[in-house]
Amino acid sequence: MILSEGVLWEGTPAEFPGFGQIPRTNVPGWPAYWASYAEIYRRHLWVAAVVNKLAMGEARLPLKVYEHDDLNRPEARDHPYALLLRKPNNRHSRFFFWLWTVSTFDTYGEAFWGKLRDKGGRPIALVPLHPTGMHLDRETNGVAYWTFTGGAAVRITDIPGHDLVHFRTFNPDSSRHGMSRLEPLRRTLEFEDAAQRAQSAYWRKGARPGVLLSAPRAMSQGALDRLKVSWTAVAGGVDNTGETVVLEEGLKPEKWSLTAEEAQYIDSRKLNREEVCAVYDVPPPAVHILDRATFSNITEQLRSLYRDTHAPRLQLFESTLEAELRGGRRPGASDPDFGDDVYAEFLLDEVLRGDFEVRADAYQKADYMTVAEKRSRENLPFIEGTDRIMVNAATIPLDQAQREAPGAPQERPEAAAGSPGPSGTAAAVQRHLGAGILPESLNVHLRVLMGRLGRAKTLGDVEADKLTAGLGPAAPVVSGALELARSAGLSVAEFRDLLQSLAAGGPPS
């Protein structure tokens, strides 16, 4: 079974400046210090902080599979490709699986997955293979063959390249292996390690500079060694701070103070942490370095972490999945392992969206979205009738606005055969209400009425109280016209023409 559980293969130790004995790999072609990346991650606060920040941020993102339909983007939740990405194997959760992958990628510059296939040859599980155990053996007929060594007990040879998913960064010396981002930081991290060891010694020896003991005459080497031991036993270490020391034989203590340059280790450490952030392209406020953060720029810098740092990395992961997992082909197969009708994509919408007030304002301006779509983005349940696009009721076509302008000539529709028509209904309204009492305010409210009728498909959809709300003296005219128009079987368009006729002074006598 091709499964390393992501365990680092520890071979013979190798010396690395500042780190002592470091487990290393014996894989041919790798530098002797290659496995020291793990030790750097363990020992250096800012390396671990930045790697963890990136890994946690990307492991939390939804990874969804869609069908190739750019207009509707239907999600293919039950597609075998989606099921595999949602549950890579039976031993790791999806979150941990990506946490391991991204952390390994950022520490070593590459990460490997092995594919486990069913009897039909389709991948049914993905397993992590630690890069320190991977070695490229040979290439035969365009196929690369790898060997994985997981310690003394596990050794798997002749793993074909189509059974691997290989994430890697750019390496100027190799197209087969990635280069760790820690390589450009090697000298910086040596300085950081030296600063930490110096600070540790400073506190361990009493949190004060060294002391120089001077004597009036020369002393033998044995006497000097005994004096040093006795002085350290009495006055050395933080626990002996403030102890009374009795000197004899003319000995005189003198403080050995640090120079101004030697006291700059704090500024040096600040520079080291900023260089770590620079190599990983992480804004310092993202890892709580707030020296230059302000109220106005910290929010934008945190958003830029996903927009400018995560987005290119996620495209690298997506393209690798597309080429080596979704589109991978085993020898002799003419079709990809998961077909050409789907693709996987990380979703950044959740982390890039603003706070509630900003989202509410954006939704109000999003006329192209239905209420159902807006509710879905807020994880709210669907409500019947909200899947229609709503527009401003006062928005009407330009030609209609020109017809309704004061002084504009009004078209009088002809009555249809066998039907009283709008003109005949208008005359009936006048007879019903009494000649000469049509209110002038009807013309003032005409545009409001046109807007309220804009959503109705039939007159049966029109509620009289809502249609006549706020019309004042014009309300009885509109209500009577609506009742007569319904009885005459007029359409909404014909009813609109009827109201325009009434507003223009009624039908000719």
Give one DSSP letter per residue of 13-72, joined into a string.
Answer: EEEETTTEEEE----TTS-TTTTHHHHHHHH-HHHHHHHHHHHHHHHTS-EEEEES-TTT
- Distance (Å, whole) CA 387 – CA 372: 5
- The answer for 193, left when phi > 0, alpha when psi is -120 to 50, beta otherwise, is alpha
Kindly give the pairing relationship between strand 110-117 and strand 123-129: antiparallel
Task: Please report where in the chains the tokens 């409210």 appear, as a residue.
Answer: 445
Looking at the chain, the whole-number percentage of residues with pLDDT higher than 90 is 19
* 507 vs 445, residue with greater confidence: 445
Asked if the model's pLDDT at residue 262 lies above 70, the reply is: no
Sheet arrangement for strand 110-117? 123-129, 110-117, 164-168
For 135, residues 6+ apart whose C-beta sits below 8 A from its C-beta are 27, 28, 29, 146, 147, 148, 149
- Distance (Å, whole) CA 324 – CA 322: 6
pLDDT confidence bin for 403, thresholds 50/70/90: low
Degrees (nearest 5) of the Cα angle 155, 157, 158?
165
- Distance (Å, whole) CA 282 – CA 305: 6
- Distance (Å, whole) CA 241 – CA 244: 9
Residue pLDDT, tens place only, 39-63:
888 888 888 999 999 999 999 999 9
Q: What does residue 16 show for φ and ψ, rounded to 5 degrees?
A: -140, 130
Residue pLDDT, tens place only, 156-189:
888 998 899 999 999 888 888 888 888 887 777 7
Q: Of the ranges 84-93, 181-190, 226-235, 396-405, which one carries the lowest mean pLDDT score?
A: 396-405
Count H helices and E strands in the chain, helices first. Answer: 19, 12
pLDDT confidence bin for 207, thresholds 50/70/90: very low
Q: Of 134, 146, 177, 145, which is closest to residue 26 (Cα–Cα)?
A: 134
* 356 vs 81, residue with greater confidence: 81
Degrees (nearest 5) of the Cα angle 428, 432, 435?
90
**Strand, helix or coil for residue 295:** coil
The DSSP output letter for 238 is G
**Strand, helix or coil for residue 112:** strand
CA distances from 242 to 23, 245, 336 (A): 43, 9, 76
The DSSP output letter for 437 is -
State which amino acid sits at residue 76: A
In the numeric block, which tokens belong to residue 143? Answer: 């196929």
pTM, two decimals, is: 0.60
Q: What is the C-alpha end-to-end distance of the chain, expressed in Å?
A: 96
Kindly give the pairing relationship between strand 123-129 and strand 342-346: unpaired
The DSSP output letter for 463 is -
Residue 269 forms beta bridges with which residues?
none
Are 252 and 26 within 8 A, CB to CB?
no
In the numeric block, which tokens belong to residue 268? Answer: 């040096």
In the numeric block, which tokens belong to residue 488? Answer: 């005459």
- pLDDT, residue 195, reads 67
Average pLDDT across the chain, whole number: 75
- What integer is the mean pLDDT of 24-43? 61
- What integer is the mean pLDDT of 191-216? 65
- Distance (Å, whole) CA 228 – CA 244: 16
For 165, other C-beta atoms within 10 Å of its C-beta total 23
Q: What's the Rg (C-alpha) of the chain?
A: 39
Kindly give the residue spans of alpha helices, DSSP state H, lying in 32-185: 36-43, 45-59, 80-86, 94-108
- What integer is the mean pLDDT of 59-70? 89
Residue pLDDT, tens place only, 116-126:
998 888 899 99
- pLDDT, residue 418, reads 43
- pLDDT, residue 367, reads 80
- What integer is the mean pLDDT of 277-306? 80
In the numeric block, which tokens belong to residue 280? Answer: 């990983």
- pLDDT, residue 474, reads 78
**95-99, 119-123, 291-295, 302-306 — which one is most confidently predicted on average?**
95-99
- pLDDT, residue 381, reads 79
- Distance (Å, whole) CA 323 – CA 317: 10
- pLDDT, residue 468, reads 83
